[in-house]
Structure 1
Amino acid sequence: MFLEDFNSYTPSGTDINGGSGGSGFSGNWSGSGGILSDSSVVYGGAFSAKATSAGLGGNSYERPLTTALSGSGILVYGALRRDSSSSGELRVNLRTASGDNDAVTIKMNASGQIVIGSSSPVVVGTYAINSWYAFRLTIDTGGSGSYTAAISADPFGTSGTWGTESASKAFQNAGSLGFLLLDFGSSAGTGVTNYWDEIGTTSPFTSAPVFTPRRALMGVGL
């Protein structure tokens, strides 16, 4: 279990390199190039993480998990946003606990698509600029590893719903997952502002209320 909500990196504009916020991590963020906390555009809570791509190149920020993710039915969530759909990529990557290699990737690409995988990516859906999109990864680390994804444009903290589950994608490298990495995929693009928020094993949505008939609440048999 882990969650990075970026809410402890104050004031707004703080580089998250060296940051130790969130929970479920065994080390701090390590990276360079300007992923900063931001309070002006958020999905949940008071802060998100923000990077404007000018000069960022292939820089990445990485953090180790306290407990590697292993097994089937693993759910990892997060939210992404960009202010352009025509340049660069925005990525979240889960990497293998052994070897620290790319395994599970979701990204917003330069064609207005949200995709999983790097080689022959699977399209999950499309995105509009300046809008948050939550994602849910359903992961099985068994064998060579596989995962699917679904996305939602519903607000944080609502009883939101997920879109259609994508086709399955194989891990780029097999194994349990021990590192979280934020970066720009194949390219940061030019002059694009990217945002990440609420990345972890906690759903951004509340559970839908369970309907209980009034007679049952009163102890009256149905």
Structure 2
Amino acid sequence: MSLYYYKDMFKVDNLEEAKNIILTEEAQGGDHRQRWERETTYMQSLFAEGLGDLNGKTVLDFGCGIGRLSKALVEKYDCHVLGVDISPDMRRMAQDYVGSDRFSVISYEMFCALAETGSLQTDCAIAVYVLQHVYDPAHDIGLLEKAVRDKLLVLNLKHRAVPVIDSENGAKKFYLDEQPEPRADVGLLLAEHFEQQRQLELAADKISVVDKHWCRIYGKKESK
């Protein structure tokens, strides 16, 4: 069996399909509709606890999807949010879903080009349920280091969940890698590029399968 990274896993035709893949059904957490309502509200409290007052700041929403958390941010704070996502379908929906002039969205390719040259600078960033899925975590975390001036909030699985397709039968799934090599270990890579400031305690009644997740706040490392 040969498995290949399948970025089209996030190709969707409508809002309901997008919501279903962003927050999949969990036996312990309910379907995507229940999780959407419960977890989106809860994430606002995590942002306040971990990132503080975001009024007047620019926030990067890395892996924004259709803008679920970007919308929560612009509704709560007088901030500007820049979304980044690999899926053209989700980017297209995000602008309408967020519905704010204080929100814009760009492609992953544009983010890479701007961050690599230092042309993109934001005050803070969030990466929620995304670094566990990316093709090259080392590359993306390195670019986040260049793009974020202050704090980065990451909510992630303790293992990788990589979107793949089976070359033999065309089956699509998230491949779980519980012991990733160092170049793909999100926690280790973040520690190389950022200074961990704190770990936020996650509420078991808010985050599905909470024991398999962590939420940490990172800051810029001091120059030596």
Provide TM-score, normalisation by structure 1: 0.30
The structure number with the bigger radius of gyration is 1
Bigger proportion of residues as helix: 2
- From the two aligned structures, give the one with the greater strand fraction: 1
TM (norm. structure 2) is 0.29
